[in-house]
Chain A
């Protein structure tokens, strides 16, 4: 699977759980690698790009989570 597709799946997963459950990086790795049939390293790699581009950010609420940045 192309990296862009993995990134899309990650973003959709985060979007879907926004407001319901905060996801940790490992939740995303486990879910997306299982659903898309790619390795966890591939998920990590795509997640890293999303964060570098600012499409997703890390937050800290008693633990580190991955979320969509708030609209300014």
Chain B
């Protein structure tokens, strides 16, 4: 029988309408010594207002430099079962589709060799297994790899790429997010398992600007689906929305960020040349509006939660690129960006930080891209374009 701890502070986190991680750890703690000690240590952390976990070090599986994150208790005498509490990241599937057979097997393996606690999915996008010993790592890796699974990314490496559900379930998808995610994963296995970057690098792919995977805030490279044609309008359906109680002027026209829509009470019209493809109108009037024409993606670079200068959203580098197999143009562009980062990046400097330090102008020159209006992130704040003498001679 695992040890039972009194947890008055953690119990507070079980109240309210939301699922509680405390409830889940308690369930696991009924049969796992590791989960029980984790609960005890966590309660102590809340009581003392400090963390008792350490991380990093030299654990891993033979041949790989990522996928396992060493975690240790700084109170191993008091909580011996979490003296080691390593995290294992399993490379998730595109858009997180699993069979129930795999989920059952995964849970069995984890009950046998780990704490039984999982995190599906971590903010990294991985299928995260929480808490195991150093001795079990190779066995766990063998159990998963023999079933066709692999570890995900960690450390100064390509992190496990992730994507929105895209065309698998969503009619707004402009690109095949699942196929792109899979192609990226396969292309850069070495970059994922054998860390050789200055720091981490994340790809996230969203089918449209609704960005259900929050790529613009979380990825060093955001790939966001977009279109080149017009927005097709079905005026009959527009009238139905009005009949259904929608205030089209207020909720749609006035909320259009580029002010390119108008409504005369009968017809909704869109000046497509001014549309920035934000998806607001389409998401609100799904039955009436539809993106048409050529589909592709916008490539953005450089998001990170807390930068030296605060949280940063990613920045448009390529306004429109076709995203079809074998994605050669995209892959070449990424390799070139990594080259720039490898050449000039400091240890623990994300690519976005490097671009801010060196300047967007140098980055674009390195990539061989001409500045375009879409590169301007904030009007009057991006003076990175200067005429050279060669330009003046023209």
Interface residues of A (CB under 8 A from B): 24-26, 29, 44, 47-48, 51-52, 54, 57-64, 66-67, 69-70
**Taking CB as reference atom, which chain B residue is nearest A54?**
B62
Known interface pairs A24-B196, A58-B65. Does A69 touch B157 (Cβ–Cβ under 8 Å)? no
Q: Is the interface of B mostly helix, strand, loop or mixed?
A: loop
Q: List 11 A-B contacts (CB under 8 A).
A: A26-B196, A44-B194, A57-B58, A58-B64, A58-B155, A60-B56, A60-B69, A60-B70, A60-B155, A62-B56, A66-B65
Instruction: Report the bound CA distance from A58 to B67 in whole Å.
Output: 11
Q: Which residues of B contact A44 (CB under 8 A)?
A: 190, 194, 196
Q: Which residues of A contact B150 (CB under 8 A)?
A: none
Instruction: Report the bound CA distance from A63 to B236 in whole Å.
Output: 58
A25 touches which of B60, B63, B70, B195 (Cβ 8 Å): B195
Instruction: Tell me if B196 and A25 are in contact (CB < 8 A).
Output: yes
Q: Tell whether B342 is near chain A: CB-to-CB under 8 Å.
A: yes
Instruction: Report the bound CA distance from A64 to B153 in whole Å.
Output: 12
Instruction: Tell me if B155 and A63 are in contact (CB < 8 A).
Output: yes
Instruction: Report the bound CA distance from A66 to B66 in whole Å.
Output: 12
- Tell me how many residues of B have a C-beta within 8 Å of chain A: 25
A-B pairs, 6 with minimum CB distance: A58-B65, A64-B195, A64-B155, A25-B196, A64-B156, A59-B58
Instruction: Tell me if A52 and B62 are in contact (CB < 8 A).
Output: yes
Instruction: Report the bound CA distance from A54 to B197 in whole Å.
Output: 21
- Which residues in window 57-77 of B have CB below 8 A to A? 57-58, 60, 62-66, 69-70
* Interface 1/0 per residue, B100-140 and A, CB below 8 Å: 00000000000000000000000000000000000000000
Q: Tell whether B199 is near chain A: CB-to-CB under 8 Å.
A: yes
**Taking CB as reference atom, which chain B residue is nearest A51?**
B63
Instruction: Tell me if B56 and A58 are in contact (CB < 8 A).
Output: no
Q: A24-B198, A59-B57 are in contact. List 4 more A-B contacts (CB 8 A).
A: A25-B65, A26-B196, A51-B63, A66-B65
Q: Which residues of B contact A69 (CB under 8 A)?
A: 58
**Taking CB as reference atom, which chain A residue is nearest B62?**
A54
**Taking CB as reference atom, which chain A residue is nearest B69?**
A60
Q: Which residues of A contact B66 (CB under 8 A)?
A: 58, 64
Instruction: Tell me if B58 and A63 are in contact (CB < 8 A).
Output: no
Instruction: Tell me if A26 and B60 are in contact (CB < 8 A).
Output: no
Instruction: Report the bound CA distance from A61 to B196 in whole Å.
Output: 14
Instruction: Report the bound CA distance from A3 to B364 in whole Å.
Output: 37
Q: Tell whether B348 is near chain A: CB-to-CB under 8 Å.
A: yes
Q: Tell whether B264 is near chain A: CB-to-CB under 8 Å.
A: no
Query: Nearest Cβ in chain A — how far from B291, in angstroms?
Result: 41
**Taking CB as reference atom, which chain A residue is nearest B341?**
A26
Instruction: Tell me if B157 and A64 are in contact (CB < 8 A).
Output: yes
Q: Tell whether B347 is near chain A: CB-to-CB under 8 Å.
A: yes
* Interface 1/0 per residue, B186-200 and A, CB below 8 Å: 000010001111110
* Interface 1/0 per residue, B321-364 and A, CB below 8 Å: 00000000000000000000010000110000000000000000
- Which residues in window 158-210 of B have CB below 8 A to A? 190, 194-199
